[in-house]
């Protein structure tokens, strides 16, 4: 699938902006603050149904009443996103929908500069990153994550009430443990698949004999044990006003030659680990979904040496790549 163009209205700093993309690689060059990343964000929203950066009201251009994104494929199909300041609608094949239909979502591999800090980032950042990756790979994962988060919010709201007893939480505890166990199993499965290939792909980039691994860290052993722990922690959770145990506290650890990569791997080695992760993500998308993802690279070339730049280009040669780069002046588009 090849994206041909995107047209923005009142999207971030763009009052009106239209970009035509090349079939293989499109380079968007401009100075900082010119709105390069906003173009990638608009493509992402049209293909995935939501931004990777912010909520809709933050995207809306200051003083404007609506924003609009129109994305066109080379085969003539079109997706339109409109936000009127209160609600968002998608127009697909002349039909309106409040959410982007699953059948028209298209997979993306997104690479941002902050991703290069993934190894040493907080557990919250790593959970957010892998939630986004796994959500693309599995509809089941997305459903379980949304339902878990809903149950967690409801439970936390009850815990904040002045008068609450353990029975008031039971139905939400049951849902929390059900979807939490489901998320744990899916996360474990995906991490195992990543680790199976991780060292091989890493070595193809770094050209050395180091071993790398991704580990999934969770305290949730089973659905029944999860429920018992929630009941046992009720009094503490009531005092704190939130749920202190569950898969929303899970972590992912990068391991380099048998020890935690954060603090033991060099900057170059860490960056090779992240690039390898991106390559595996793209490979898993093709294997599970049968689609070659669009690759969005947001100003990452400036953070990589020439060897790793060439590795990125070589590995994604069969993908449509849209990348941004810092330059002087207004936005300019080039490609092949």
pLDDT exceeds cutoff 80 at 1: no
| Residues 289 and 107: beta-carbon distance below 8 Å | yes
**What's the mean pLDDT when you consider all of the chain?**
95
- Burial grade of 210 (CB within 10 A; 0-12, 13-18, 19 or more): middle
pLDDT in tens, 84-117: 999 999 999 889 999 999 999 999 999 999 999 9
Q: How confident is the model at residue 329, as a pLDDT?
A: 84
**102 CB-side CA count, 13 A:** 9
Dmax (CA) of the chain: 64
Residues written for the chain = 336
Q: Residues 252-268: what's their mean pLDDT?
A: 95
What is the mean pLDDT of the segment spanning 304-308?
A: 91
Distances (CA, A) of 229 to 134, 158, 171, 176, 233: 26, 17, 15, 12, 6
Residues 33-47, mean pLDDT to the nearest whole number:
96
Q: What structural domains and CATH numbers belong to the chain? A: 1-106+293-336 (3.40.50.300)
261-304: pLDDT as tens digits? 999 999 999 999 999 999 999 999 999 999 999 999 999 998 99
The total of other beta-carbon atoms located within 10 Å of residue 241's CB is 12
Percent of the chain with pLDDT over 70: 100
| Among the listed residues 153, 171, 160, 177, the one whose alpha carbon sits nearest the alpha carbon of residue 238 | 160
Quick: pLDDT tens for 127-177: 999 999 999 999 999 999 999 999 999 999 999 998 999 999 999 999 999
DSSP characters over 161-201: SSS--GGGGHHHHHHHHHHHHHHHHHHHHHHHHHHHHHHHH
pTM for the model stands at: 0.93
pLDDT at 223: 93
Predicted local distance difference test score (pLDDT) of residue 67 = 98
Burial of 263 (0-12, 13-18, 19+ CB in 10 A): exposed
> Residue 28 pairs with which residues in a beta bridge?
324, 333
How large is the average pLDDT for residues 178-185?
97
* Of residues 261, 275, 336, 265, the one with CA closest to residue 305: 275
Do 298 and 40 contact (CB within 8 A), yes or no?
yes
Number of H helices and E strands in the chain, helices first, is 9, 14
**Which pLDDT value is given to residue 107?**
96
Q: What is the CA radius of gyration of the chain?
A: 22
Total Cβ atoms within 10 A of residue 22: 17
* Res 330: pLDDT: 87
pLDDT tens for residues 192-208?
Answer: 999 999 999 999 999 99
Q: For residue 25, give the 3-state DSSP assignment.
A: strand
Phi, psi of 212 (to 5 degrees): -130, 155
Give the end-to-end CA distance of the chain in Å, rounded to a whole number.
Answer: 16
- For position 328, what pLDDT does the model report? 87
């Amino acid at each position: 699938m090849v994206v041909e163009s995107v047209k923005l209205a009142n999207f971030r700093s763009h009052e009106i902006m239209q970009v035509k993309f090349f079939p293989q690689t499109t380079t968007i060059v401009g100075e900082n603050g010119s709105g390069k990343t906003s173009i990638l964000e608009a493509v992402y929203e049209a293909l995935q149904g939501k931004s990777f950066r912010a909520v809709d009201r933050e995207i809306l251009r200051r003083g404007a009443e609506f924003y609009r994104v129109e994305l066109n494929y080379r085969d003539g199909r079109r997706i339109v996103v409109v936000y009127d300041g209160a609600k968002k609608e998608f127009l697909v094949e002349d039909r309106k929908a409040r959410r982007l239909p699953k059948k028209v979502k298209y997979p993306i591999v997104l690479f941002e500069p902050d991703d290069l800090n993934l190894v040493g980032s907080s557990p919250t950042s790593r959970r957010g990153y892998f939630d986004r990756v796994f959500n693309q790979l599995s509809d089941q994962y997305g459903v379980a994550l949304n339902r878990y988060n809903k149950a967690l919010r409801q439970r936390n709201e009850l815990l904040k009430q002045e008068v609450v007893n353990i029975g008031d939480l039971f139905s939400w505890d049951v849902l929390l443990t059900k979807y939490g166990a489901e998320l744990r199993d899916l996360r474990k499965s995906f991490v195992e698949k990543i680790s199976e290939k991780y060292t091989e792909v890493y070595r193809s980039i770094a050209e050395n004999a180091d071993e790398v691994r991704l580990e999934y860290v969770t305290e949730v052993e089973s659905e029944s044990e999860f429920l018992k722990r929630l009941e046992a922690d009720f009094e503490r959770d009531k005092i704190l006003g939130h749920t202190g145990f569950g898969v929303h506290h899970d972590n992912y650890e990068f391991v380099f030659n048998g020890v935690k990569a954060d603090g033991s791997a060099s900057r170059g080695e860490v960056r090779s680990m992240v690039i390898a992760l991106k390559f595996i993500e793209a490979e898993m998308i093709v294997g599970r979904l049968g689609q070659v993802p669009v690759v969005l690279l947001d100003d990452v070339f400036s953070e990589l040496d020439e060897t790793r730049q060439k590795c990125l280009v070589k590995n994604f040669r069969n993908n449509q790549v849209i990348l941004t780069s810092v330059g002087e002046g207004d936005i300019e588009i080039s490609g092949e």
